[in-house]
C-alpha cells in the first residue's frame, strides 16, 4: 500500500470542460509524477453577451508519494 497525496488545481479552456480537465493533468504532470486520478470538484463557465466564453474546472489531483 502506498501513500497518496491530493492537490487542488484550477484550469480554464475556451473549448470545453474536458479540455480544461486535460489542462489540469498536463500542468500537474510538469512537476508531479505518479498521478493516479483526478476528481472534477467544480465546473463553472464565464459568460459574456449571452454566450459561454470559457469553461473552468476545479480538480483534485491524486498522486502516489514515493518513499
Residues β-bridged to residue 57: 11, 43
Place 1 in a pLDDT band, splitting at 50, 70 and 90.
low
More confident residue, 15 or 66: 15
pTM: 0.87
Residues 48-62 pLDDT 10s: 999 999 999 999 999
Looking at residues 22-45, what average pLDDT do you find? 96
> What count of other Cβ atoms lies within 10 Å of the Cβ of residue 4?
12
Domain annotation for the chain: domains and CATH numbers = 3-65 (3.30.1660.10)
CA distance 24 to 57: 8
The whole-angstrom separation of Cα 32 and Cα 49 is: 38
Structure confidence by residue, pLDDT tens digits, 5-23: 999 999 999 999 999 999 9
What angle is formed at CA 45 by the lines to CA 36 and CA 21, rounded to 5 degrees? 15
Amino acid at each position: 500500500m502506498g501513500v497518496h497525496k491530493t492537490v487542488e488545481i484550477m484550469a480554464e479552456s475556451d473549448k470545453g470542460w474536458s479540455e480544461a480537465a486535460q489542462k489540469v493533468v498536463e500542468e500537474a504532470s510538469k512537476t508531479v509524477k505518479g498521478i493516479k486520478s483526478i476528481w472534477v470538484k467544480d465546473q463553472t463557465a464565464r459568460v459574456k453577451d449571452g454566450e459561454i466564453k470559457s469553461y473552468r474546472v476545479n480538480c483534485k489531483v491524486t498522486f502516489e508519494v514515493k518513499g
